[in-house]
Structure 1
């Protein structure tokens, strides 16, 4: 059945990298915000990506990560809090291939609620997880069953996660240069790839590209500028000082193509890595996914534009309601 939803010219292609398979599931989120009569929007709503055929052995389980021509569904599922919040909203609201009602509680049943540094929150690790879905959907004041039980919402949870990131940097358990009150932002991104080196009296590995997170890592002293900028909507009182500090200490983080992906403040021995500077390392890349997040989150901080547009999306409202979200603007819209 999944084969029927693939264009003929792609049915026989070899498998694609994981990020290429997953990212198209996010793409329709942008398309559904077009004007009501826009042809592209109509096609996007009609062709929202299916999350797989309704096979009995998959009933009630969390959604699988993807599907490969020739080998079928991947063995991994979306379990644990992640950017899949966006995927479930789209999947539940699809007018043509909706998820079953059991899928969302099957996912939230894998959540991990933590208390770190005296802060109660839904744990994720890398900061991008607390940001991606919020680029599109305004989660302020709307709650699913899980968040109602925790007396929280996903927006407030992201604010708390930002504070956890800063507190981790202040404590700096691994002794990295540049971690401080205004030096935080661990997320997925590029990083130096060098042999192990001595940092704070111990041997430290550098991971290249990695989904860095707190407090359990991975952490090699690399901070993400886009993660800081994308935190503006949640905690501007933290993000703006951190942004100023990053600009002051690493003027090369801004270039014509956008805000550089990541920076590593030191030590100079990292100079063997591509992207090295006299002290530390700066990513040579400005990646579209990160630059897009910056644009969307800054605009939401400035005007709430994307949030307002998504409120008018029938598939999004349907998906949120089917997931059990109530209150806030969902309740207000119901009484228009």
Structure 2
């Protein structure tokens, strides 16, 4: 597995009558009940297997979830956030009992509440309420000196923490403790401390290098960072932070492969915040100016990715209407191949994507790019999942659903950093990543039942953060149930 210290952040039309203008229809016509029995079985199976990845991989004593699994791994705090939310899905779906979900959640929150917070290089799990991106699976402390105290990964962890706070609402000692611990963990985060260049929020900090010289600015997964920072009852940032984050949006607003939308090349930027926040029908100032909400924007981004694959400018093997999806994922790994008069570079872990901001495409398909977008555009996502499973399933679909990624264009026999070569297919990963599994299981459930969204609409911190960012309309105008 290629070690990664920091995540990279930073016009063919669809076949048929789905696209009638450069902007897709706002409402999705496909719901679970309308699917054929085989497609319902496909969704059911994928959701259950992806949930099982979190349940089986986590350390039941600490709740730490590995970055990648099977095999040895450090823990990803973002994966823990996805896992905490998945346990609620498991309880609702009957994969586990509510009591099992409570036990695992309580163990996780106790660990993060008690984990050491200080400025040392090696003897801490976090500082100022934030946590290190990667933790040792056994000790729970910073995995290595290359690992940053991460504002966005702490935020993704907090998504799961706040989900737990709201979901476990019964009058029992265990569920009461969950609520208390979740509140303590969230209230402890010192958001203004992470603003060395206020009003923007820094991407992170290290004891040796201090604050990372990059801030969350422009449309990306940092959306949830600002919402949670604004919503804090103890250490909030000022409302101008949201305006500063929005300030460069128009540089990536435009048409890309038949869709006009706010671009961010990898699909995870269109998915992560949406796992916990229902952006349907709520709008901030930027939304109102451009007459669409962020959910509609992600829907357009999903279609754009599919259109890009249909056009296939890189002439990669397998791309088409039902095989598509670029996002942060593993890949064959830092290998340059001479092929005729072309030089092809195949990356390891990187933020693949296609948009106005950049194109990073080496033929590697990540099923989560489609699967995590099921709530946005099920009518094109489900056929893609179905086709990829039918065409390559023997090699890319197993105990925990889809592997992280595969590349039908890579056939070079060489020493691989991760994955394996499959005859007549190409490179196939042998693990799943928590940050890619999370959007699959959670967005399937949001599409099926609005489950996570319904829970989070009741969370006062989410609501407060959205309102301070200037969001109005939709469910925000309704009273809390």
Residue in 2 aligned with 1:97? Answer: 235
Q: What is the TM-score normalised by the length of structure 2?
A: 0.64
* Distance in 2 separating the partners of 1:28 and 1:6: 15
Please give the per-residue CA displacement for 1:167-191, whole angstroms capped at 9, x wherever unaligned.
1111111110011111110000000
Residue in 1 aligned with 2:178? Answer: 40
Return 64-73 or 262-271, whichever deviates more. 262-271
Secondary structure of 1:269 counterpart: coil
Residue in 2 aligned with 1:265? Answer: 408
Please give the per-residue CA displacement for 1:59-102, whole angstroms capped at 9, x wherever unaligned.
33x21101222443211101221111111111100111111111
Return 80-89 or 264-273, whichever deviates more. 264-273
Residue in 2 aligned with 1:241? Answer: 383
Task: Map 1:317-328 to 2 at 5 A.
Answer: 317-328=463-474
Task: Map 1:1-336 to 2 at 5 A.
Answer: 8=116, 10-14=118-122, 15-18=145-148, 22-34=152-164, 35-36=168-169, 38-48=176-186, 49-53=189-193, 58-60=197-199, 62-111=200-249, 112-193=252-333, 195-198=335-338, 201-215=341-355, 216-251=358-393, 252-269=395-412, 273=416, 274-278=419-423, 279-333=425-479
Identify unmatched segments of 5+ residues in structure 2.
1-112, 123-144, 170-174
**Residues 176, 199 of structure 1: 8 Å contact kept:** no
Please report the RMSD computed on the Cα atoms of aligned residues, expressed in angstroms.
2.3
- From the superposition, tell whether residues 22 and 327 of structure 1 become closer, same or farther in structure 2 (CA, over 3 Å): closer
Return 129-138 or 270-279, whichever deviates more. 270-279
* Distance in 2 separating the partners of 1:229 and 1:237: 12
**Residues 45, 95 of structure 1: 8 Å contact kept:** no
**Residues 151, 202 of structure 2: 8 Å contact kept:** no
Q: What is the TM-score normalised by the length of structure 1?
A: 0.91
* Distance in 2 separating the partners of 1:76 and 1:9: 23
Q: How many residues align?
A: 329
Secondary structure of 1:114 counterpart: strand
Residue in 1 aligned with 2:136? Answer: none
**Residues 335, 347 of structure 2: 8 Å contact kept:** no
Return 152-161 or 276-285, whichever deviates more. 276-285
Identify unmatched segments of 5+ residues in structure 1.
none
* Distance in 2 separating the partners of 1:196 and 1:19: 33
Secondary structure of 1:281 counterpart: strand
* Distance in 2 separating the partners of 1:189 and 1:268: 19
Return 149-158 or 191-200, whichever deviates more. 191-200
* Distance in 1 separating the partners of 2:223 and 2:156: 11
Cα distance, 1:50 vs structure 2: 2.2
